[in-house]
Structure 1
């Protein structure tokens, strides 16, 4: 199990900023022994998950293309869900609308409708963000037990007091059926989100709006809240999260 986790950690070091890496970079960034990295890289190359270029640098392997296609198919929004996101964006005055799901101590953007506002906050589909920060994270954590909340709070690295602070935010989100945040993850950025549930009423996703704090005034937040609550209920009825 440890070898699997280490191999996945190496793959996670490749992103839009670091599309290729040297073995030396993987050693330095992972903190693993050289022999361990060399062994894991060889295994990942054999499985097609890494590719060694002619210049000696490593990049994502062709074997990932099949997995990428499977993921895109599983998470592709049905037309009704796409229309719902578009309507939320339009009725909000052109803010960007997004859907997030939980993945460990992170939340991942799985869909979005880009807003029309000239100044907007850009989030790419597939981008990971910390679960402890932001309105969507608060919504996704409603229903989480104490152990899970402690794990998420610990990932923030803000000390023991933050656990109760996070728990209070999550309780408030559960009580009113939506959450709002201002500058929790990034200064000047605000968001509001509502839950998407499965047939048993469990929160499986969060639908939200995000943009500059200057546009997320109390008055507009009050207007956005019922809009997102309605969208959350409509998306819940579609039962599309994770494929159909």
Structure 2
């Protein structure tokens, strides 16, 4: 007889596998076949069929002649997510205007443990631009947004982030220097730290308690992020971030309690 711990681990593994299957669905690949799933996950076909059947039974997948697509059961979750995370109209308008004015992509990030998550975006109008998808998780060991999001981070959190970076545990000290410099300047900037040729500038959005709850950023090709432009970006971002903070950002994506 299996121990409760073994049963629990098996259940967690099954959930992770099911989420992994759903994660294979993207804008570029809206339908996946059983063969696609087997090849992508390395799971046995019998295991994949069992997981797919469970997901289909719960409405999370929908069978088609070519494979499986996102099921209608996800609409309920999508509605809840949109209700919780959709930005107020004035903030959406401000981000659109900022992207138009500065001609670079505008992103809004929040921290989730050792990652930063993009929760809103307005793309640059220029053909050569930087774009991440809403919902994407990026590492916190580099980037302008990380430098402002981690302003109040504990040494333990910085150590965990640094441990998973390409630079190793010693990177925690470098991160602390970056974070402190961003706190003094009122904004963070990065140039090729995570991806060569990519730059960003970010300003902190504060909650009612004064803590950093989000990072508003402009990002694009490094060749366009000259010192003069960085200064201009920083001023614009700080102004908009301050306005967002003044409107109240402890619960930024819903009606305040």
TM-score normalized by the length of structure 2 = 0.80
In the TM superposition, residue 193 of structure 1 has moved relative to its aligned partner by 0.3
Distance 1:164 1:54, change over 3 A: same
In the TM superposition, residue 139 of structure 1 has moved relative to its aligned partner by 1.8
In the alignment, is residue 5 of structure 1 matched against residue 16 of structure 2?
yes
- The range that moved more, 213-222 or 121-130, is 121-130
Question: Which residue, out of 65, 69, 79, partners 1:69?
Answer: 79
User: Which residue matches 1:59?
Assistant: 69
For 1:235 and 1:76, the matched residues in 2 are separated by 14
Structure 2: 5+ residue stretches without partners? 1-10
For 2:223 and 2:35, the matched residues in 1 are separated by 44
User: Which residue matches 1:81?
Assistant: 91
CA RMSD of superposed structures (Å) = 2.6
Distance 1:163 1:197, change over 3 A: same
User: Which residue matches 1:103?
Assistant: 112
In the TM superposition, residue 207 of structure 1 has moved relative to its aligned partner by 0.4
User: Which residue matches 1:136?
Assistant: 145
In the alignment, is residue 207 of structure 1 matched against residue 211 of structure 2?
no
For 1:11 and 1:201, the matched residues in 2 are separated by 38
User: Which residue matches 1:43?
Assistant: 54
Q: Deviations over 1:70-109 (max 9, x none)?
A: 22232222222123223433543x2222212223443232
In the TM superposition, residue 134 of structure 1 has moved relative to its aligned partner by 1.8
1:178/1:195 contact within 8 Å kept: yes
Aligned residues: 242
Structure 1: 5+ residue stretches without partners? none
- The range that moved more, 197-206 or 144-153, is 144-153
In the TM superposition, residue 206 of structure 1 has moved relative to its aligned partner by 0.7
For 1:58 and 1:132, the matched residues in 2 are separated by 36
Distance 1:224 1:27, change over 3 A: same
In the TM superposition, residue 32 of structure 1 has moved relative to its aligned partner by 4.8
In the TM superposition, residue 243 of structure 1 has moved relative to its aligned partner by 1.8
1:14/1:20 contact within 8 Å kept: yes
In the alignment, is residue 195 of structure 1 matched against residue 195 of structure 2?
no
For 2:222 and 2:148, the matched residues in 1 are separated by 19
Distance 1:202 1:12, change over 3 A: farther
In the alignment, is residue 152 of structure 1 matched against residue 164 of structure 2?
no
1:95/1:114 contact within 8 Å kept: yes
Distance 1:8 1:138, change over 3 A: farther
User: Which residue matches 2:136?
Assistant: 127
For 1:46 and 1:220, the matched residues in 2 are separated by 53
SS of residue paired to 2:164? helix
For 2:111 and 2:48, the matched residues in 1 are separated by 29
